[in-house]
Amino acid sequence: MQFKEFAEYFQRIESVSSRLKMIEILADMFKKIDSSEISMAVYMTQGVLAAPYEGIEFGLATKMAEDALSIATGKDKNEIESLYKKSGDLGLSAEMLMAESKLRRMRSSSYTIGMVYDSMIKISKASGKGSKEVKVRTLAEVLAASTPIECKYIIRYPLGQLRLGAGDSTILEALSVAHTGERRMKEELEHAYNICSDLGFIAEELYKFGEKGIKSIKVTLFRPIKPALAERLPTPEQIIDRLGGRCAVEQKYDGFRCQVHKSGNTVRIYSRNLEETTDMFPDIVKATKDSIEAENVIFEGEALAYNEKTSEFLPFQETIQRKRKHDVKAMSEQMPLHLMAFDIIYLNGKSYMDLPYNRRREELGRIISQNSERITLSNMVITKSAKELNKFFEESIESGLEGIVAKDLNSSYIAGARKFSWIKLKRSYRGLLSDTLDLVILGYYLGKGSRAEFKFGGLLCGVYNKKSDMFETISRIGTGFSEDNMKKLSSLLSKIRAKSKPARVSSLINPDFWVDPVYVVTVRADEITRSPMHTCCRNNSGDAEVGYALRFPRIIGTDLIREDKRAEDCTSSEEIDELFKQQKKVTTKF
């Protein structure tokens, strides 16, 4: 497909306010793209060069894009910067400047999707001495051969500013419609995506081999699986009742969740949001090579900082110091990590996802060397007694841990889903709603009075409805911000402003500025209340005119933004509905 036609589809997608219309446009676009370009088209629609775990970044700064635009249009850099400051969107600036440019196009033929993508790969691979010049020259060449509308998206793409608002679920649904004419394949595509985490690969397999290709996608080494997630309940009694009696109860650790892939002497580690973190954990890599007695394996664990002298796990505030790119080796020696392994997904050519939890636990224990000092099985008891579960919970809390996770002994590993086969109980659950929630920022308000100078006065936040692939509002947050917080949020959010309400946002409230659903923040609130203003669970609350809201919400955490979570990884509307029901059942007596 010519990139001009592709860009015109992007323009149409950007202009719609309906998710269903977005799916219709995407499906029409995907129908016209052949198998040789479909993976590239999907990556571009996501705004990436490859699946997240590949770790391929553009490495193109805004100043470089301005330099390339200057070369392609013949415009002065100062003029470009001035226009960019006015528009706040270098893509729009590029479109306007190219329309005004009197320079003749450098190519008589147009670029295709594949040609633009290959140029972006070339930009990403340029490194070392002279790499800046290569990046600028390559981008300038593409811009100079393109129309104004193409230039808008060619600039936005490597800067991470496409602003299409098409989430993974929306793209999967559009692929289903493009291939079958209906949405019936969405669930099958989602299952495949949960075990390979690569939308471009999914699309390519679908186009080359049809439904048979999707069904053939299996768990594969060095292609991370979306992690299984736990639901929550407030009391041991409810947990035992929900799991039907006898269950496994593991200690819950507050550290780095690690999905470890090992093949021979090659080890790679992936984070909760599937980014490769191998270089961060040289001690865990070495321990895996030394202590895991399996040729090929994928297993999961939680890595925590460990004081070898006192045999104590350190709090997360100290563990987080290991999250760095510099002086990693020195830090690993100063603050070694201990990996508490809790599940196995794949072993020597066979997926273990469908095996019951108790079998998986047995196999995991079998492959960990008895002499291992860095990797051990998570502490666990098996019980059918709420009293015994609570005793184990109390002991875990006294040890400085978060709490426990109870697991159905017969449950399979459910990738990418939050089910009641795993149920967590944390110390914070002793209050009405003391546990934290992860909310996505949907919009923000201008500051007034003492906050006017920061151009920031508060946030409109929401949760994710997986069934509808929509973000629903649940709270306006206007308190608890430090001056540094306000400056940081003002700077971050001004860069992702949307012209109008994004198509995947459901809201009755209009903030001063809408933003693309990108950033996740951790919030604590006193309770969940009924609200006619918010759309969270509006159709589930028992009243079509009433949703749920948070009472006295405040942002917590020193880092402010949860960089380890995508927007779709925030708290779900289904969780909120369950938490609201639990509030009436919570007792302070365990």
Active site residues: 252
- CA gap 491, 505 in Å, rounded: 22
CB distance 542 to 568 below 8 Å: no
Q: Roughly what angle, to the nearest 10 degrees, separates helices 38-46 and 168-180?
A: 150
Question: Burial, 370: exposed, middle or buried (Cβ in 10 Å; 0-12, 13-18, 19+)?
Answer: exposed
Residue 437: strand pairing partners: 523
Q: Which residues does 177 contact at the CB level (< 8 Å), separation at least 6? A: 23, 24, 27, 183
Residue 348: how many CB atoms within 10 A of its CB?
A: 9
- CA gap 517, 93 in Å, rounded: 23
Spatial CA neighbour of 268 closest among 279, 254, 253 = 279
User: Buried (b) or exposed (e) across 501-525, using 16+ Cβ within 10 A?
Assistant: bbbbbbbeeebebbbbbbbbbbbbb
- CA gap 383, 532 in Å, rounded: 43
- One-letter amino acid for residue 198 of the chain: D
Spatial CA neighbour of 494 closest among 506, 486, 504, 484 = 486
Question: Burial, 328: exposed, middle or buried (Cβ in 10 Å; 0-12, 13-18, 19+)?
Answer: middle
Alpha helices in 368-440 (DSSP H): 386-398
The number of angstroms, rounded, from the C-alpha of 344 to the middle of its chain's C-alpha atoms is 22
State which H helix or E strand residue 344 sits in: strand 337-347
CB distance 372 to 361 below 8 Å: no
* DSSP letter, residue 525: -
Rg (CA), the chain: 25
- Which residue is it, tokens 């602003």? 163
CB distance 271 to 258 below 8 Å: yes
Q: Which residues does 413 contact at the CB level (< 8 Å), separation at least 6? A: 228, 343, 345, 352, 353, 354, 355, 357, 360
- CA gap 582, 183 in Å, rounded: 34
**How many CA atoms does the CB half-sphere of 172 hold within 13 Å?**
24
User: Buried (b) or exposed (e) across 67-84, using 16+ Cβ within 10 A?
Assistant: bbbbbbbebeeeebbebb
Phi, psi for 251 (deg, rounded to 5): -70, 145
